[in-house]
Amino acid sequence: MSAMRFSEPDQAIIARRASIVEGLARLVSLGSLITSRDECRAYETDALIAY
């Protein structure tokens, strides 16, 4: 099995996180967005199903 290599996160985008979430919340309800680390935990291993 080969390892997957991910690119480094773009720090400029990460710095704009709050404004990105705010903009998305204007389009869909805030409850529809995954905005915290805890909400992401359930998806951390989803890539493993490809193997």
Give the largest CA-CA distance in the chain. Answer: 42
- Cα separation of 44 and 33, whole Å? 16
pLDDT > 60? residue 18: yes
pLDDT top residue among 20 and 50: 20
Joined together, the tokens standing for residue 20 give 């990105």
Residue-range domain boundaries for the chain:
11-25+35-50
Residue in 14, 36, 34, 37 with CA at minimum distance from that of residue 24? 34
DSSP 20: H
pLDDT top residue among 49 and 28: 28
pLDDT digits (tens, 9 = 90+) for 25-38: 999 998 889 888 88
Q: Specify whether the CB–CB gap between 8 and 51 falls below 8 A.
A: no
pLDDT band at 46 (very low <50, low <70, confident <90, very high): low
- Cα separation of 5 and 26, whole Å? 34
The model's pTM: 0.61
